[in-house]
Chains A and B, each alone.
Chain A
Amino acid sequence: MTVNIDVGTVLRGTVCDLYSNLVTRPTGAAVRTAIEEQVLELGASVVTTIDFSQVNLLDFSCADEIVAKLLLRYASDDGLPGFLTFRGIHEGHIDPIETVLERHALALVSWHEGAAELFGHVDDDERSHWEAVRDHGPIWAEALAPILAVSEAFAAQQLDRLRVRRLIMRRDDGFTVPGTVARAS
């Protein structure tokens, strides 16, 4: 199950219905708190997608409060359940988002027009394995290893790193990027 949360709607419903820009740290904190409450209420969702389509301006403070701190909540041991993805990230959002991701050593999965992209702090092995899962998944380590010309054990290790970081999810038919719709056979 995937749940879409529109950040622009949350902003106007939580902070002020006249605001269209995600600026200032108190605004970011209020929006994040509202999103966390929605996620906890929805409980059963597997993938929660945070939609920035209606957000014009995003500053560093809001990127830190919303993007980084939400990801940190998912990453913590007693964190939020499921997986977090993003969509509607446009050119103007990228600098503040990448900045806060690097600062916290975080990464995220962003969706745009049916394509998934990885932003943030990942090493070359993590990126190559993630992209291979995206392009060939659902897939297990034994099928992935020859594609990347690595050992099966190494591929399994990298997939586990990505799973722990919640950048990929394990399904019955193999690892896949969160938000991927099951393919028809």
Chain B
Amino acid sequence: MTSVISVPPSLDEHSFEQVFEQLALVPEGDKILVDARHARWASPYGLTALLCVAQSRADRMGFAVPEHADTVSYWSRTGFFRHAAELYDMHGTVPRARDAHESDVLLEITPITKSDDVHGVVGRIQQKAADILHGQLNLDTAITGAFGMTLSEACQNIVEHAGLGGWVAVQTYKYARRLGRRVVVIAVCDAGVGFRKSLESSPGHRRSDRWDDAMALEDAVLRAVSRFRHGDKGRGQGLAGIRRFVGRWDGKLSVRSGAARIAITPDWDEDVPMTEGLPFFPGAQMQVTIPERLGEAPVRARSAGASRARPRGTL
């Protein structure tokens, strides 16, 4: 017998919990078909997490592709089917792979397995990021460097902690339901060991009665604890930097790992800070959302390479 996992019509960080819930009920070893026939829309988180679903079990799953032509076309432009075909047994018509050239696909779905991949995504994103972040989202040009830094640190977490490759995608889209503005979203997902097991591997880790996925997320996201911190206090700054970045640009950070999810939320979002008791899913799934800036476009800052003002005495 094959268990069918129904993909909801709209797939984002919240609705994806329906997929995790269904998946958690299927015993290991059972056949699974992920049925996306009725899917109409998916965020970068939804698409990258779908790839992680395929990696989360030893047995190869089936995947029923969306029926709606626009959905198939868009998912194809994100690079989804190219990667899905390597992980799933595909059912349905999959278009030939095309380059992701649409303006809202800032970075098509890209596998991250080693440090070189991080250099690749950062290098590629910089070619488009400045125009899209400033031109479409009305953000100050100063965001471009910080955006690349955030992308780099998020992807490095996969290389250093996941123990299994992961995926990254960056897109812009109109976030109509919650915000009514355009947003740029970074999704970084893996099906690796997750935050709890990563921190447990540290020589300095002291397990307490309260130790669980939620506490591991608090340690990593809020307290900058890293499994490498033992003997190297320079570690753990990546997530702290990401947190500062979303705070500075009125953005949102959410990280799901194991059975818990933590969210750093701005005023425009009503997400809860911590959710526990979620259906277990391996690895870590992170989303960074930066909204369009309202009001007049900021004065274009000096380009990268320009120095900050240094008014103090000259020698």
Assess the A59–B153 pair: CB atoms within 8 A.
yes
Asked if A146 is an interface residue, CB under 8 A from chain B, the answer is no
Number of A residues, CB within 8 Å of B: 43
**Which chain B residues numbered 145 to 178 have a C-beta less than 8 Å away from chain A?**
145-146, 148-149, 152-153, 156, 159-160
Contacts of A89 in B (CB 8 A): 307
The answer, among B118, B123, B244, for a CB contact under 8 Å with A20, is B123
Cα–Cα, bound, A59→B142 (Å): 14
Of A33-41, A99-107, A160-168, the one contacting chain B is A99-107
Asked if B315 is an interface residue, CB under 8 A from chain A, the answer is yes
Assess the B122–A57 pair: CB atoms within 8 A.
yes
**Which chain A residues numbered 71 to 100 have a C-beta less than 8 Å away from chain B?**
89-92, 94-96, 99-100
Contacts of B301 in A (CB 8 A): 91
Assess the A21–B123 pair: CB atoms within 8 A.
yes
Contacts of A131 in B (CB 8 A): 312-313
Known contacts A59-B149, A60-B153, A91-B142, A23 near B122 by CB under 8 Å: yes
The answer, among A27, A56, A58, A181, for a CB contact under 8 Å with B126, is A56
Contacts of A20 in B (CB 8 A): 123
Asked if B15 is an interface residue, CB under 8 A from chain A, the answer is no
Known contacts A61-B238, A91-B307, A134 near B142 by CB under 8 Å: no
Assess the B234–A103 pair: CB atoms within 8 A.
yes
The answer, among A21, A53, A64, A113, for a CB contact under 8 Å with B237, is A64
A-B contact count (CB 8 A): 127
Taking the nearest CB of chain A, how far is it from the CB of B161, in angstroms? 12
Assess the B234–A64 pair: CB atoms within 8 A.
yes
Assess the A57–B145 pair: CB atoms within 8 A.
yes
Cα–Cα, bound, A113→B233 (Å): 33
Q: Hey, what's the 0/1 contact readout for B290-315 against A, CB within 8 Å counting as 1? A: 00000000000110111110101111
Contacts of B310 in A (CB 8 A): 112-113, 115, 117
The answer, among B142, B234, B235, B315, for a CB contact under 8 Å with A180, is B315
Asked if B119 is an interface residue, CB under 8 A from chain A, the answer is yes
Contacts of A116 in B (CB 8 A): 315
Contacts of A103 in B (CB 8 A): 233-234, 237
Taking the nearest CB of chain A, how far is it from the CB of B235, in angstroms? 8
Asked if B115 is an interface residue, CB under 8 A from chain A, the answer is yes
Cα–Cα, bound, A20→B127 (Å): 13
| CB nearest to B313 among chain A residues | A135
9 new A-B contacts, CB < 8 A, other than A90-B304, A104-B234, are: A20-B123, A23-B152, A24-B156, A27-B115, A59-B149, A61-B237, A64-B237, A95-B244, A115-B313
Q: Which of A's residues lie within 8 Å of B, judged by CB?
A: 16, 19-21, 23-27, 53, 56-61, 64-65, 68-69, 89-92, 94-96, 99-100, 103-104, 112-117, 131, 134-135, 177, 180-181
9 A-B pairs with the lowest CB-CB distances in the bound complex, closest first: A92-B145, A64-B234, A23-B152, A24-B115, A135-B313, A59-B152, A60-B237, A115-B314, A59-B149
